[in-house]
Amino acid sequence: MENQKSAPVYQVVEKFVSINGEGRRAGELAVFIRMKGCNLHCSYCDTYWANESDCESTEMTADEIISYIEESGIRNITLTGGEPLLREGMAQLICAILQDPQRRVEIETNGSIDLTPYCNLERRPSFTMDYKMPESGMEHAMLLANMEKLSNEDTVKFVVSSRSDMERAVEIMEEYRLRERTAVYLSPVFGKIEPVEMVDFLIEKKLNDVKLQLQLHKIIWDPQKRGV
């Protein structure tokens, strides 16, 4: 009983099965576990509601989360937010999920939290890590040491609003040799920049090994729809 009392609980605002809307496994089925709260305030945030202090959430233990995953029958698990790595006990949850060798865990993280504790796990999750652009208002919060911890299983995502954001993304790609070491995606802020402008930029800059990433869930469903 004492161990049960001390087991971490996680504030979950959403759990659902859908397709991955972005990332390396875009188009594949995944279980999404969305954690409450974030330490950043990006200008374009599309899940701001999950960061509000009065946002409704459900306390779940690792066992309860794993039961939900097992019932789904889906092998891809995406831990997202908010910022999931703010939650205490996240390493324990990742390890518990990955006890099944067929499961794959992807962490969607905002780039401000140290990845070291999670890179050293017996089974390492993959990361889709944002680098916040100037127009997000949050570039100052980026933990640049994370760049050296990324592997070829991970993704760096630049969410851009303008040409100046794209220019800055190229500077970061080159400074940290990202295209040589990991997957690199350029993604538009929905409604702020046209994808055709981004394609023209990729061609102009000869950005081999950079992918244009559109959020599939915002194309398939209403962009404001939750639980997809």
Confidence of residue 226 (pLDDT cuts 50, 70, 90): low
> How does 190-214 read in b/e, with b if 16+ C-beta sit within 10 Å?
eeebeeeebeebbeeeebeebeebb
What CATH number matches the domain at 9-220, 3.40.50.970, 3.20.20.70, 1.20.1250.20, 3.40.50.10860?
3.20.20.70
Exposed (0-12), middle (13-18) or buried (19+): which is 118, by Cβ within 10 Å?
buried
Q: Is the pLDDT of residue 1 over 70?
A: no
Q: Is the pLDDT of residue 4 over 70?
A: no
pLDDT for position 26: 85
Residues in the chain: 228
Helix extents (H) in 37-111: 62-72, 90-97
Confidence of residue 18 (pLDDT cuts 50, 70, 90): very high
Q: Which residue has the higher pLDDT, 69 or 49?
A: 69
Q: What does the longest C-alpha to C-alpha distance in the chain come to? A: 62
Q: How far apart are CA 129 and CA 143, in angstroms?
A: 11
Confidence of residue 216 (pLDDT cuts 50, 70, 90): confident
pTM for this entry: 0.91
